[in-house]
Amino acid sequence: QVQLVESGGGLVQAGDSLTLSCATSGVFYANDAIGWFRQGPAKEREFVAATRWRLGDKIYADSVKGRFTISRDVPKETVNLQMNNLKPEDTAIYYCAVDPTGTPTTMKNSDNYDYWGQGTQVTISS
């Protein structure tokens, strides 16, 4: 059973940076993709970024491209999300999740993710 625990959220000002971490336990298979999603106040959950565990390729939502970087630490089994130049509209609960199919087509769709963490709150003040 895969377990995911997010950390690193907090309250920062616009323009600041934060790094979120997703600590994992369980067995990762080669095709697994690990994604970050977020859900802001009164908003639907949206895709942020994802990476495939074996290949290490990365995809991003247009809204965060150039500001956020997803990375994986294979020995530590963690996936990080470095967030720079944060904006008030980045305020949300951030979740990491595992997509066992791990294809460029499925990685942006939250319906394809089977395992989810509990989330970490990120609040950006203007």
| pLDDT tens digits, one per residue of 30-53 | 678 999 999 999 999 999 999 998
Q: What is the mean pLDDT of the chain?
A: 93
Q: What is the mean pLDDT of residues 53-58?
A: 88
3-state secondary structure the chain: CCEEEEECCEEEECCCCEEEEEEEECCCCCCCEEEEEEECCCCCCEEEEEEECCCCCEEECCCCCCCEEEEEECCCCEEEEEECCCCHHHCEEEEEEEECCCCCCCCCCHHHCCEECCCEEEEEEC
- Residue 1 pLDDT exceeds 80: no
